[in-house]
Chains A and B, each alone.
Chain A
Amino acid sequence: MPDNASLTSPEFLRRLERLRLLLRRGSGGGPTGGRVTRTKGGVAEFESHREYQPGDDLRTVDWFAYARTGRLVVKEFARDEVVRLRVLLDGSASMGATPAKWRRAREIAAALCALALFTRAGTECFITRGGRMELLGAADAEPGLRPLLEKLDRCTTKGDPAPVAALNVARRGPWATALVSDLLDPADPRIALANPVKSGFGETMVVQILDAEEARPSIEGAYTLADSENGATLDCVVGPELRQRYLAALAALRERWSRAASAGGARFVAGTTGEPVEAIVARLIHPTAVRGGGAA
């Protein structure tokens, strides 16, 4: 898809719809699946009926009511507890280094929100930029996905990064949290991921998204590199040796996040703009089913 295509385009919506297939694989059951599994303990309590809407699971249709009234209604159950997925999208300037990178990050955020809604969990999406967290939107059911995607479509990048600090704040609560960021933040990831789930923090997922050029630089020669976030410059001569050292630094960064995630019971996935969003999300949901999927 082109980098300027809308997240509400029919094509992207169809791709989101196909993500339902991911929910049938494995036992995770989605970005909130782990949380539901751990809290299951009985039959859900019936709460009310409502009109059937396209996209509703046919298993929730009350066929007896249909036989009686001729109207399609679905049964709604009261959840055992409030299960929500809080998606945290890094909106710092480095995320907009290339249109493809910013596009892929928003796609991942949209896919995570959609998956949460597909499992009948609520979702809310925040964007962190300029040291602030802004709520883009929230939805408790699938019809609320489209307004959320429209807001994701319009958001832009600016300011310095603070993914570690934002994640540290956002994951406090009984909800699952997902961070979508390039993680180009010198802060120690253990600050955000040190507290395990069982200590009251929700399940946490971290998705690192980098541009293909950032993941494997191809430039060569004398360059003045400029930081897109603060304008700082670095004069260097890019050659094989420097590129090798860059890749080593990147690998070390991923290793730090991976270890921190493992210690905190979180999931960490690294992806690039060269991969489709479905592949990155699949590695996040089924980390053991996709081998060599990039989780460092």
Chain B
Amino acid sequence: MTWLLPAGLLALLALPVLVILRLAGARRRAHTVGALMLWAEAAHGLPAGSGRRLPPWPLLLLELGACAALGLAVAHPAWVGESPALDVLVVVDRTASMAARGTDGSTAWERGLRALASAMAQHPSATRYTVRAVPPMPGGVLEGPRDAVLAVLRASEPDPDGSGDASDAVGGDFHRSLLVTDRIPSLPGTDRLEVIAAGEPRANLGIARAEVVRAAWSPVEPGNAPTPAVFAVVTNFTHADGDISLQLLRDGTELGRATMQVPAGRAAGVVIRATGGSLDGGVQVRIDHQGDALRSDDVVALERAPSRPLFVAWIGPESAALARAIGAATGRRVVIGDADGDGDGPDLTVCHRTVPQPIPAGPVLVVDPAASVPALHWVMAPNAGTARPSGPHAATFTRLELPARWPRATGYASEPVPRGGSAHATDAGGRPVVWSGTRLGGQPVGVVGFPPDGGWALTPGYPIFWARILGSLIDPGTASRTVERDPAESDLRNAVTADRAGGRSTPTPVAAAALASGRPWLALLAIALLAWRLRRKP
């Protein structure tokens, strides 16, 4: 047996208090009367000690028993022995990103299964597991004991075309749930849901949401107009608690500042008051994690009014993750479809694995994770830190060929691509990510390629990466996010960008699990019992 809330055992301190109270109450008190004549006559013939309605010690034992039971209940005892009653749900992420290899050569899937086996070893041997996979495994839902479940999972592999959010599969009447994923789940961790992070541990913080606080929420100071303020939610994807500071900037001038602590793996929100001026003209929110050497970890630009939607024409398999990344990067609501949004043509054409012929008008983004497009041609400078495109410059596209050993390069494309084309490459933890851009007659075209054996980066986990590219393609020179760190090394997430782009707000699950862990009503009951005991007439 163990205690889920050991601090609750402090309630047992009430036991000696009860004993002391009883001893104090049992002591004979002195009372002066005018004359003993009547009392002596009344007490004559009565046995000593008679007259009590209840014997004191059985009553004390009853009180001690009730108090001890209450204290033990507050401590929330739990039996973790060979209890046969545990039903555990295991949700495994089988999306393509789980096949990404880390620095140690193992995939996220393999790391996740190892962590899962360790977690399952803590359960009673009679525990029964129900396994749900996203996307589902060929055999459907898997049920069985630990060894059988692990054997089946080890024989499985991630789906190279799979996508989806494994968090959506969590639910049901189970004692506990285990979620194995390389993504930050949309569900907060609780005492009944354990998230097994299969991704590589990285350290960074990201602004999940930032919005201008409505006037009614602004602090009002006497004699002054309401101070404009910005509400920012920061998600800590590191493995340690982070002390962060947030700056509210307009044109490089600080309007306000706030600090807070964000627990590891959790999100926290804070209101930054713009005491230095108004928010007119748009502002930036910049966060800086005190624990690293970076000047800032993330920056979000806020506009006073939502801009028109971004109409994106999608050619090839549509990626919801990439669509969210585009929304996060541009700060605009993304409308995906073939038709023109407003008759002026799409704002962006995303070609996913497919090269359109002829080339659409307007900015074009080609995403080619397989490097299977014959028209693409890419020649790598053998020892250069920076790759340069070569081949038919007249061609619209640049072929991407990734050698087995990618030469390490530093830097990141941050400038608009000049006419004539250039390319920059980076090596992020063994996962090369290349972005190339060119302009032909003022039409920006970008190509993003990934090594065939590498992981996909087409997730909202790379908003800054996409912000760079999309900022150059759609609105050159006004990238909405900047970062001091290679985004591939970061683990930034932007969970509610679609809501931000649409001008809506969503509740932030800040420290929800912390509230769920306590049993405040039991503590209140114990205090009430003690207070009642103290108030009793001696």
Interface residues of A (CB under 8 A from B): 93-95, 97, 101, 161, 182, 184-186, 210-211, 214, 219-229, 232-242, 245-246, 248-250, 253
Contacts and interface: CB of A to CB of B under 8 A. Distances in A.
Interface stretch (B44-52, B144-152, B287-295): B44-52
25 contacts: A93-B34, A97-B33, A101-B34, A182-B34, A186-B37, A214-B33, A221-B25, A222-B28, A225-B39, A226-B31, A226-B36, A227-B33, A227-B36, A234-B36, A234-B39, A236-B51, A237-B49, A237-B50, A239-B52, A242-B43, A245-B42, A246-B38, A246-B39, A246-B42, A253-B38
Given A237-B51, A246-B39, A214 B34 contact: yes
B53 A161 contact: no
A221 B43 CA distance: 14
B30 interface: yes
Interface of B: 25-43, 46, 48-53, 537-538
A221 B31 CA distance: 11
A182 B33 CA distance: 12
Nearest to B35: A184
Given A222-B26, A234-B43, A241 B35 contact: no
Given A184-B38, A227-B36, A234-B36, A245 B31 contact: no
B33 A228 contact: yes
A242 B35 contact: no
A295 to B, nearest CB: 19
A93 B37 CA distance: 14
Contacts of B25: 221
A227 B51 contact: no
A245 B34 contact: no
B34 A222 contact: no
A239 B50 contact: yes
A242 B51 contact: yes
A225 B31 contact: yes
A249 B537 CA distance: 27
A161 B52 CA distance: 33
Chain A interface SS verdict (over half): mixed
A184 B34 CA distance: 8
A248 B35 contact: no
Contacts of A94: 34-35
A232 B36 contact: yes
B50 A226 contact: no
A250 B38 contact: yes
Nearest to A210: B34
A101 B25 CA distance: 29
A268 B27 CA distance: 41
Contacts of B36: 225-227, 232-234
Nearest to B41: A249
A185 B36 CA distance: 10
Given A214-B34, A236-B48, A239-B50, 16 more contacts: A94-B34, A97-B33, A182-B34, A182-B35, A184-B37, A186-B37, A214-B33, A221-B538, A224-B30, A226-B30, A228-B32, A237-B51, A238-B51, A240-B53, A248-B42, A250-B38
Given A239-B51, A241-B50, A226 B33 contact: yes
B46 A211 contact: no
A213 B48 CA distance: 23
